[in-house]
């Protein structure tokens, strides 16, 4: 395994060839914000929160999609990047109906945490207040489109780890909508195995387990590491 | 077919055509068809039959003759005259060879600026060959460039020729075509693909459509040469489903070329084989973006993905893929036939050759034109385009569609090439050119294009999906007199966000129409916001809550 040495936020770090900037930064205690990345499934570079500056490159790059190279000098926290991230999170809050006070994951939501860590105390954009539905047809889980940020984590984990590919998007642009199978109610999906992986990787309260009250739900993603380790190293260890 | 067969067919067809007393070319491209060209062609055909002159007079349909606003157009081969606004009643005069006398009032002046200021390479056959007959294309020297490439040149030499020509991609970004070909050729992989981007999604653009409808074999020949140069055996043309006629002509052309062994296996008795298939798109703008287009051909949702890897390394089904625009491929045969050095004499130092533009909007001669790179905007708008109708004032020209910008009058004399347009905040784009006069509201123009981008955003990345919606909302409020200065500041921040963080070109360039109008027409934004007034008289705004109202009351 060939080693790459580089600098992130003034800190000299090393990674291995092929490793993403995001992952090397994370290994070194530098936590670049993200919503669509989740360890254990492929990356798509869709949320654009992990955009970083690489010295000598004209354009910003998505840290999750860019492999480290020898001698790179990376900045993850400039004023401009923070301003971009704040605006992206504001865009999400204005896009759908995120009402934390009535949400099952209040206090343990990645979107909420992002807003707090970026110091967002108000949204400058006009709320769109779209009319969206809640699908509670599944026996154990629910899908609240109002809280969905379209990160596609559920789609990828269901396809790549569970192998069911129950989820996908219909529509495009602002009309994109998460659907199960060909748009049937989740409870009627023939491909869903009810494994619940999608619920656990969902960064917000969009996918939730039934029977939880406001602020009661905590998501557990350790299973992903467990499965991926098992697949790659053939070891069943937690 | 051998090269000798090709030359023999050419000589035979030329002799046949020269033996006719008259060949009447009826423009059957979309523009003229919409003003009744089909009925005219039918009337002429019937007239020929009725007079029993089938042996000496022939009528054929052709691609776009350019001056769409004066259609339907008909050209008579014997004297090269083009007649405007032809009706089915004119069939008799045309067949009798009496056009010059009886239709004198509708003769277009061949010395008019519209004709003499143009230079046709890509459109050379448009309007002079019947796109449905391979022999017409062969008579015009068709497939000789492919023969030369396969029989005389090595793939590397073909690439050298293209590099020497200085040709740059006509799909928008203007990347060097020769370098792109070389990148694909260098990949040490057996299976490679050539893809032609005929998605043409810009509102109002019809350059690629006209090329495909008017001269489909030219595109096939360009793709086959590309296949030979980069080492691919399979090509795909990704055409939008709305282009029914183009699809029909391409299908027919592919069949004809296969029958004559100009496509398929053992082309020109060589070991080179190349097949072309069509893939029909559903008309999403974003599917013109190369990685989305590839995903769509693969049968997936048409969404862009992160680049690198770029298609020359990993494209269709993970294989090295050469993806070029229709017009780019349209330039290839002439370059290989006449040499890259010839091509490089046309245009400016950094932008070689010609560019096809679709003239639209407030301009006298709407239609399809081809001019040498570096022609000034003034020449295009006022000489070729005939100026602004009703004596109104030129306000701006919009190039590059939803990814481009508005060019104000002070830049009318800049040469139209990739660099100059970029410098003034627009882009060459694929060739849409919309002219606006003083009745066009620039804020509303920006709103229109943002509305388009918002509708066409694929929704994968947040800045574009949610950002275009917010930018559109602000622009709409400005046109309704409901916005304030803070909104403009927010608009600028959103523009910066989209440019710098969007995943693909759609989101990255969506703010361009806004930024260029803010730049050159900031007064109009201010008038809407502060005085609730639309200087162009286009937007309907409630009266400002100022002293004005008290005076009225
Ligand atoms: C949103 C978007 C739409 C595009 N649409 C087209 C199109 O309709 N036709 C086209 O040729 N290129 C289009 N492009 C550019 C292509 O991605 C690609 O650069 C081009 O086809 C390459 O061919 P060229 O090198 O011959 O220009 C589009 C790009 C973007 C970002
Ligand atoms: S920029 Fe727009 S069109 Fe391109 S990937 Fe992002 S959402 Fe899709």
Q: What is the CATH number of the domain that holds A91?
A: 3.30.70.20
Task: Give the residue among B144, B134, B141, B150 at the shortest CA–CA distance from B259.
Answer: B134
Phi then psi for A162, rounded to 5 degrees?
-80, -25
pLDDT in tens, A13-33: 999 999 999 999 999 999 999
Q: Do A206 and A88 belong together in one domain?
A: yes
Q: Give the whole-angstrom CA distance, residue B475 versus residue B481.
A: 10
DSSP B444-501: HHHHHHHHHHHHH--S-SHHHHHHHHHHHHHHHHHHTT---HHHHHHHHHHHHHHHHH
- The ligand 2 atom at the shortest distance from the C-alpha of residue B460 is 7
Residue A56 main-chain phi, psi, to 5 deg: 90, -5
| Chain B contact set for A168 (CB, 8 A) | 301
Contact B469 A126 (CB under 8 A): no
Ligand 2, atom 8: closest residue by C-alpha: B458
Q: Which long-range contacts (CB under 8 A, 24 or more apart) does A174-183 make?
A: A174/A95, A174/B454, A174/B457, A174/B459, A174/B465, A174/B466, A174/B468, A174/B469, A175/B459, A176/A150, A176/B459, A176/B465, A177/A145, A178/A143, A178/A145, A178/A148, A178/A150, A178/A154, A178/A206, A180/A135, A180/A143
Kindly give the number of the ligand 1 atom that is closest to the alpha carbon of B509: 31
The residue among B515, B506, B513, B514 whose CA lies nearest residue B453 is: B506
Q: Could you tell me where in chain B the CATH 1.20.1440.230 domains are found? A: 442-546
**B505 in ligand 1 pocket by Cβ < 6 Å?**
yes
pLDDT score for B340: 97
* Confidence check: pLDDT of B330 > 50: yes
Would you say residue A217 lies in a domain? yes
Cβ atoms of B313 and B183 within 8 Å: the answer is yes
The pLDDT > 90 percentage for chain B reads 89
At residue B246's C-alpha, the angle toward residues B295 and B364, to 5°, is 110
- Is residue B327 lining ligand 1, measured as CB closer than 6 Å? no
Least confident window among A103-107, B201-205, B336-340, B485-489: B201-205
User: In which band, very low, low, confident or very high, does the pLDDT at A228 lie, cut at 50, 70 and 90?
Assistant: confident
Closest CA–CA distance from residue A181 to any residue of chain B (Å) = 15
Q: Quick one: A29 and A99 in the same domain?
A: no
Question: Where do you find CATH 3.10.20.600 in chain B?
Answer: 354-435
Tell me how far the alpha carbon of residue B503 lies from the centroid of ligand 2, in angstroms. Answer: 6
Put simply, the answer to whether B465 touches A83 (Cβ < 8 Å) is no
CA-nearest of B49, B55, B332 to B170 is B332
Q: Residue B358 forms beta bridges with which residues? A: B368, B432
Q: Six-digit token pair at A58?
A: 């004209």
Task: Report the residue among B458, B467, B468 best suited for mutation to probe ligand 2: largest number of ligand atoms under 8 A from its CB.
Answer: B458
Q: Is the CB of B200 under 6 A from ligand 1?
A: yes
Q: Return the pLDDT at B172.
A: 84
Q: Is the pLDDT of residue B181 over 50?
A: yes
The pLDDT value given to residue B544:
64
**Per-residue pLDDT averaged across B259-265, rounded?**
96
Q: Are A192 and A96 part of one and the same domain?
A: yes
Chain B residues within an 8 Å CB radius of A156: none
Task: Return the residue of A nearest to B501 by Cα.
Answer: A48
| Residue A80 contacts residue A114 (beta carbons within 8 Å) | no
**Whether the Cβ atoms of residue B302 and residue A173 lie closer than 8 Å to each other:** no
Report CB contact under 8 Å: B470, A94.
Answer: yes
Residues A65 and A98 in one domain: no
Do A124 and A20 share a structural domain?
A: no
Residue B546: pLDDT over 70: no
Q: Beta partners for A67?
A: A20
Euclidean distance between CA atoms A192 and A207, whole angstroms: 14
Whether A174 maps to a domain, the answer reads: yes
Read off the pLDDT of residues B422-478 as tens digits, 9 standing for 90 and up: 999 999 988 999 999 999 999 999 999 999 999 999 999 999 999 999 999 999 999
Same domain assignment for residues A177 and A106: yes
Tell me which residue range forms the domain holding A102.
83-233
Residue B285 has pLDDT above 90, yes or no: yes
Mean of per-residue pLDDT scores for chain A = 95
Kind and range of the H or E run holding B394: strand B394-399
**Full DSSP string of B39-88:** HHHHHHHHHHHHHT-TTTEEEEEES--S-GGGPSPEEETTTTEEESS--G
Q: What is the mean pLDDT of residues B46-70?
A: 92
Q: What is the pLDDT of residues A89-142, one digit of tens each?
A: 999 999 999 999 999 999 999 999 999 999 999 999 999 999 999 999 999 999
Write the residue with the smallest CA distance to atom 9 of ligand 1: B200
B362 CB neighbour count, 10 Å cutoff: 23
The dihedral of CA B338, B77, B212, B118: what is its sign? positive
In a domain, A238, yes or no: no
Q: What is the pTM of this model?
A: 0.94
Using a CB-CB cut-off of 8 Å, the residues of chain B touching A92 are 462, 466
- Name residues contacting ligand 2 (CB within 6 A): B 286, 304, 457-461, 464-465, 502-504, 506-507
CA angle A83, A87, A88 (to 5 degrees): 115
User: CA-based Rg of chain A, rounded to a whole angstrom?
Assistant: 19
B3-110 folds as Glutaredoxin (3.40.30)
CA-CA distances (angstroms) from residue B22 to B18, B56, B98, B102, B124?
Answer: 9, 7, 11, 16, 21
* Phi, psi of B299, rounded to the nearest 5 degrees: 90, 10
The residue out of A75, A105, A135 marking a domain boundary is A75
A55 and A157 together in one domain: no
User: Mean pLDDT throughout B319-345?
Assistant: 98
Q: Which ligand is nearest to the CA of B464?
A: 2
**Cβ–Cβ < 8 Å for B406, B398:** yes
CA-wise closest residue to A74 among A95, A57, A90? A57
Number of domains in chain A: 2
CATH code of domain B354-435: 3.10.20.600
Rg from Cα positions in chain B: 25
A-B CB pairs within 8 A amount to 92
* Closest ligand to residue B240's CA: 1
Q: How far is the alpha carbon of A135 from chain B, nearest alpha carbon, in Å?
A: 22
pLDDT at residue A220, as a whole number: 86
Assess contact for B201 and B509: CB atoms under 8 A: no
- DSSP helix/strand/coil, B355: strand
The answer to whether residues B356 and B380 touch, using CB atoms and an 8 Å cutoff, is no
Domain B442-546 has CATH 1.20.1440.230: yes
Which pLDDT band holds residue B98 (cuts at 50, 70, 90)? Answer: confident
Domain boundary among A75, A105, A124: A75
CB contacts of A62 in chain B (<8 Å) are 306, 503
CB contact under 8 A, A60 and B500: yes
Residues A62 and A108 occupy one common structural domain: no
Q: Is B169 in the pocket of ligand 1 (CB under 6 A)?
A: yes
Instruction: Report the pLDDT value the prediction gives residue B322, as an integer from 0 to 100.
Output: 98
Nearest CA to ligand 2 atom 4: B504
CA distance B322 to chain A (A): 23
Kindly report each contact of residues A66-70 with a partner whose C-beta sits within 8 Å and lies 24 or more positions away, as own/partner.
Answer: A66/A20, A66/A21, A67/A17, A67/A18, A67/A19, A67/A20, A67/A21, A68/A4, A68/A6, A68/A15, A68/A17, A68/A19, A68/A20, A68/A21, A68/A24, A69/A4, A69/A6, A70/A4, A70/A5, A70/A6
User: What is the band of B203 on the pLDDT scale with cuts at 50, 70, 90?
Assistant: confident
Report how far residue B358's alpha carbon sits from residue B353's, in angstroms, rounded to the nearest whole number. 17
| Edge-to-edge order in the sheet of strand B394-399 | B367-372, B354-361, B432-437, B394-399, B405-407
Q: Is residue A182 part of a domain?
A: yes
Can you give the pLDDT at residue A212?
87
Are A60 and A105 in the same domain?
no
Task: Check whether residue A197 and residue A109 sit in a common domain.
Answer: yes
Task: Quote the ligand 1 centre to B430 CA distance (angstroms).
Answer: 8
Q: What is the whole-number distance in angstroms between the Cα of residue B220 and the centre of ligand 1? A: 18
The predicted pLDDT at position B545 comes to: 56
Instruction: Report yes or no on A130 lying in a domain.
Output: yes
What integer is the mean pLDDT of B355-370?
A: 94
The whole-number pLDDT of residue B548 equals: 45
Interchain pair B284, A172: CB under 8 A: yes
In chain A, which residues touch B (CB < 8 A)? 44-49, 51, 59-60, 62, 65, 83-84, 87-88, 91-92, 94-95, 124-126, 128, 149-150, 168-169, 171-176
CATH number, span B141-344: 3.40.50.11540
Q: Which ligand has the nearest atom to the CA of B500?
A: 2
Q: Which residue of B has its CA nearest to A48?
A: B501
B466, A92: Cβ pair inside 8 Å?
yes
- Report how far residue B245's alpha carbon sits from residue B208's, in angstroms, rounded to the nearest whole number: 12
Distance between CA A14 and CA A3 in Å, rounded? 7
Q: Which atom number of ligand 2 is nearest to the Cα of residue B502? A: 1
**Kindly report the CA angle at B76 between B73 and B77, in degrees rounded to 5?**
130
Rounded mean pLDDT of B267-281?
95
The pLDDT confidence band at residue A225, using thresholds 50, 70 and 90, is confident
pLDDT reading at B547 higher than 60: no
Give the chain A residue whose CA is nearest to the CA of B471.
A125
ipTM above 0.90, yes or no: yes
Please report, for the domain that includes residue A57, its CATH number: 3.10.20.740
Give the model's confidence band at A235: pLDDT under 50 very low, under 70 low, under 90 confident, else very high: confident
Q: Does residue A24 sit within a domain?
A: yes
The alpha carbon of A144 and the centre of ligand 1 are apart by a number of angstroms equal to: 37
Last residue of a domain, one of A17, A44, A75: A75
Task: Please indicate, yes or no, whether residues A198 and A180 belong to a single structural domain of this protein.
Answer: yes
Q: What is the nearest CA distance from A128 to chain B, expressed in angstroms?
A: 9
Q: Where in chain B is the domain with CATH 3.40.50.11540?
A: 141-344
Which residues on A lie below 8 Å from B457 (Cβ)?
172-174
- A102 & A208 share domain: yes
- Interface-testing mutation among B173, B285, B470, B491, with chain A (most A C-beta atoms within 10 A): B470
Q: H helices then E strands: how many in chain A?
A: 6, 10
Q: Which residues pair with B371 in a beta bridge?
A: B355
């Amino acid at each position: 395994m060939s080693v790459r040495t580089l600098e992130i936020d003034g800190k000299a770090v090393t990674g291995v060839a092929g490793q993403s900037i995001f992952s090397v930064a994370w290994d070194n205690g530098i936590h670049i914000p993200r919503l669509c990345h989740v360890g254990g499934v492929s990356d798509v570079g869709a949320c654009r929160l992990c955009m970083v500056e690489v010295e000598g490159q004209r354009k910003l790059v998505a840290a999750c999609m860019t492999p480290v190279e020898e001698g790179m000098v990376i900045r993850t926290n400039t004023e401009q990047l923070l301003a971009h991230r704040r605006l992206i999170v504001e865009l999400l809050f204005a896009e759908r109906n995120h009402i934390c006070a009535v949400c099952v994951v209040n206090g343990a939501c990645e979107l909420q945490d992002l807003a707090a860590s970026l110091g967002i105390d108000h949204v400058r954009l006009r709320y769109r207040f779209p009319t969206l539905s809640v699908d509670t047809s599944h026996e154990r889980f629910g899908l609240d489109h109002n809280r969905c940020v379209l990160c596609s984590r559920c789609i990828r984990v269901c396809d790549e780890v569970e192998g069911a590919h129950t989820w996908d998007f219909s529509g495009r642009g602002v009309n994109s909508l998460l659907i199960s199978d060909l748009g049937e109610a989740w409870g009627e999906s023939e491909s869903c195995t009810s494994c619940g992986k999608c619920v656990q990787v969902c960064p917000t309260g969009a996918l939730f387990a039934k029977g939880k009250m406001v602020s009661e739900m905590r998501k557990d993603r350790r299973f992903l590491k467990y499965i991926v380790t098992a697949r790659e190293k053939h070891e069943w260890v937690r | 077919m051998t090269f000798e067969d090709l030359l023999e067919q050419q000589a035979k067809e030329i002799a046949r055509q020269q033996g006719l007393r008259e060949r009447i070319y009826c423009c059957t491209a979309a523009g003229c068809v919409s003003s009744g060209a089909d009925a005219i062609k039918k009337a002429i055909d019937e007239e020929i039959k009725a007079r029993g002159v089938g042996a000496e007079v022939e009528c054929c349909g052709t691609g776009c003759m350019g001056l769409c606003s004066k259609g339907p157009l008909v050209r008579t081969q014997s004297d090269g005259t083009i007649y405007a606004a032809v009706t089915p009643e004119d069939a008799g005069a045309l067949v009798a060879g009496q056009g010059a006398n009886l239709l004198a009032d509708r003769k277009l002046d061949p010395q008019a600026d519209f004709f003499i200021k143009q230079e046709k390479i890509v459109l050379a056959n448009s309007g002079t060959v019947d796109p449905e007959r391979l022999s017409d294309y062969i008579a015009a020297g068709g497939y000789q460039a492919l023969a030369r490439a396969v029989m005389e040149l090595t793939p590397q030499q073909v690439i050298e020729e293209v590099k020497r020509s200085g040709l740059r991609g006509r799909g928008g970004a203007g990347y060097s075509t020769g370098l792109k070909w070389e990148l694909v050729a260098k990949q040490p992989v057996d299976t490679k693909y050539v893809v032609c981007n005929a998605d043409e999604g810009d509102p109002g653009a019809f350059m690629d459509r006209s090329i495909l409808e008017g001269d489909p074999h030219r595109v096939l020949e360009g793709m086959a040469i590309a296949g030979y140069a980069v080492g691919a055996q399979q090509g795909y043309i990704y055409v939008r489903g709305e282009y029914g006629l183009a699809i029909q002509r391409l299908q027919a052309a592919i069949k004809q070329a296969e029958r004559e062994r100009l496509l398929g296996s053992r082309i020109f008795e060589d070991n080179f084989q190349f097949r072309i298939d069509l893939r029909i798109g559903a008309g999403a703008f974003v599917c013109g973006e190369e990685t989305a287009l590839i995903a769509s051909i693969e049968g997936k949702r048409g969404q862009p993905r992160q680049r690198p890897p770029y298609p020359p390394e990993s494209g269709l089904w993970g294989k090295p893929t050469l993806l070029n625009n229709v017009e780019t491929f349209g330039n290839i045969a002439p370059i290989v036939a006449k040499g890259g050095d010839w091509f490089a004499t046309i245009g400016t130092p950094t932008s070689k050759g010609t560019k096809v533009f679709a003239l639209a909007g407030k301009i006298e001669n709407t239609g399809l034109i081809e001019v040498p790179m570096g022609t000034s905007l003034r020449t295009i708008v006022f000489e070729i385009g005939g100026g602004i109708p009703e004596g109104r004032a030129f306000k701006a020209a919009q190039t590059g569609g939803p990814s481009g910008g508005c060019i104000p009058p002070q830049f009318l004399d800049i040469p139209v090439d990739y660099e100059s347009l970029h410098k003034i905040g627009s882009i060459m784009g694929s060739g849409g050119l919309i002219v606006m006069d003083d009745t066009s509201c620039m804020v509303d123009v920006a709103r229109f294009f943002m509305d388009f981008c918002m509708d066409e955003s694929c929704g994968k990345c947040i800045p574009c999906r949610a950002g275009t919606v917010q930018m559109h909302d602000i622009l709409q409020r400005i046109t309704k007199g409901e916005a304030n200065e803070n909104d403009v500041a927010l608009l600028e921040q959103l523009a910066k966000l989209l440019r710098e963080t969007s995943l693909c070109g759609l989101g990255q360039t969506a703010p361009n129409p806004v930024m260029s109008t803010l730049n050159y027409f900031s007064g109009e934004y201010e008038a809407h916001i502060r005085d609730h007034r639309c200087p162009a008289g286009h937007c309907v705004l409630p009266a400002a809550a100022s002293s004005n109202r008290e005076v009225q009351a």
